[in-house]
């Protein structure tokens, strides 16, 4: 039995905003299936009562004081923009919820 179905892979592609063709999805589905089966080994370890580790080091409470630092100029901010208009980033029409 495969660890992941072709439909799930298509769903992941949508969630990840990747417009993948059928061939690419097929190819990826096979590879992901192989990888997921391999990494599923983590489930073998007896990990009851083992706390998870999210950070490499156990640091806590790192803050900065509420002070202003220089911002970029609008020219710098927009310098890499694929499109700009009226000192704003111009983006294609947005689907989805009204903000």
Subset of residues 44 to 73 that bind other proteins, contact rule: CB under 8 A: 44-45, 47, 50-57, 59-73
Does residue 29 contact residue 6 with C-beta atoms inside 8 Å? yes
Question: Minimum Å distance from CB 11 to other proteins?
Answer: 7
33: Cβ–Cβ under 8 A, 6 or more apart, which residues? 2, 3, 4
Q: Tell the smallest beta-carbon distance from residue 50 to other proteins (Å).
A: 4
Minimum CB distance to other proteins, residue 99 (Å)? 6
Query: Which residue among 1, 17, 22, 23 contacts other proteins (CB under 8 A)?
Result: 17
| Cα atoms in the 13 Å half-sphere on the side-chain side of 12 | 11
């Amino acid at each position: 039995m495969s660890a992941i179905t072709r439909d799930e892979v298509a769903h992941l592609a949508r969630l990840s905003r990747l417009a993948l063709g059928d061939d690419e999805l097929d190819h990826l589905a096979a590879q992901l299936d192989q990888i997921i089966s391999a990494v599923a080994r983590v489930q073998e370890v007896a990990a009851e009562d083992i706390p998870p580790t999210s950070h490499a080091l156990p640091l806590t409470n790192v803050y900065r004081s509420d002070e202003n630092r220089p911002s970029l100029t609008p020219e710098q901010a927009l310098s890499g923009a694929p499109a700009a208009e009226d000192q704003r980033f111009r983006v294609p029409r947005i689907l989805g919820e009204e903000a």
